[in-house]
Amino acid sequence: AQSVTQLGSHVSVSEGALVLLRCNYSSSVPPYLFWYVQYPNQGLQLLLKYTTGATLVKGINGFEAEFKKSETSFHLTKPSAHMSDAAEYFCAVTLSGTYKYIFGTGTRLKVLA
Amino acid sequence: NAGVTQTPKFQVLKTGQSMTLQCAQDMNHEYMSWYRQDPGMGLRLIHYSVGAGITDQGEVPNGYNVSRSTTEDFPLRLLSAAPSQTSVYFCASSSIRDRRSTEAFFGQGTRLTVV
């Protein structure tokens, strides 16, 4: 069965510091992997996705993630945090050929001035 | 382009009342789904549909009903509201035909409180 684990329900970083949000998945077949962002009182917005091909994926707002099959990980990074990055971030997985998303429990990012 | 539209945005119900959460999409997506979001639990799948006339249960279907009479609409019905159904509900849609475009598009959510 598929599952997604996000380590750290709350992460705080200083403005300008590196952002690292961790996501590990469990899947018996190659997955499709996603990161979504949710700003307060809003729906989820796609940041980036990995389906096939290049394992380093670049998304919106300067975020990127690397698919590491050997580590079953898809960590989200941004070199320099901005105050506007404060939000909740969700990692999700689907199997190719299926449509049901499995979401992690989310990581709330706080950016300190 | 409206995307996925959910109504209402907020709702307060008394225990035992019924109501329907509306969801409509204008992207001609085949796949539509309902999630509930609770603190510390992420998003959990309630029901989903792969096309008009086809629905199936997700992870937490009890107490909810769905139907899909058109491609555009996927309403979620609460049959007899309970305090445990206090949550934020999200509707999402995605394309099945275009397998390169696996992105799910989400509505803005409905915040439901059952007292």
pLDDT digits (tens, 9 = 90+) for B40-73: 888 999 999 999 999 999 999 999 999 999 999 9
- pLDDT of res. B97: 73
User: Cα-flanking dihedrals φ and ψ of residue A60, to 5°?
Assistant: -80, 160
Provide the pLDDT for residue A104. Answer: 92
With contact defined as beta carbons under 8 Å apart, do A22 and A110 qualify? no
What is the rounded distance in angstroms from the CA atom of residue A87 to the CA atom of residue A90?
10
Q: How confident is residue B85, by pLDDT bands cut at 50, 70 and 90?
A: very high
In whole angstroms, what is the distance from residue A35 CA to residue A90 CA? 6
- For residue A98, the model assigns a pLDDT of 67
Is the minimum CB–CB distance between B94 and chain A shorter than 8 Å?
Answer: yes
Residue A106 C-alpha, separation from nearest chain B C-alpha, in angstroms: 6
pLDDT at A30: 73
Measured between its terminal Cα atoms, the distance across chain A in Å is 41
Q: Is A111 helix (H, G, I), strand (E, B) or coil?
A: strand
Residue B101 has pLDDT above 60, yes or no: no
**Span A19-31, mean pLDDT?**
88
Tell me, what amino acid is at A112?
L
Closest CA to A27 of A7, A8, A50: A50
- Decide: B23 and B31 in contact? Cβ < 8 Å: no
Cα–Cα distance measured from residue B59 to residue B36, given in angstroms and rounded to the nearest whole number: 10
Q: Which residue of B has its CA nearest to A98?
A: B96
Decide if A100 and B106 are in contact by the 8 Å CB cutoff. no
Is the Cβ pair A100, B33 closer than 8 Å?
yes
> For residue B52, what pLDDT is reported?
94
Q: What is the pLDDT of residues A45-97, one digit of tens each?
A: 999 999 888 889 999 999 999 999 899 999 999 999 999 999 999 999 887 66
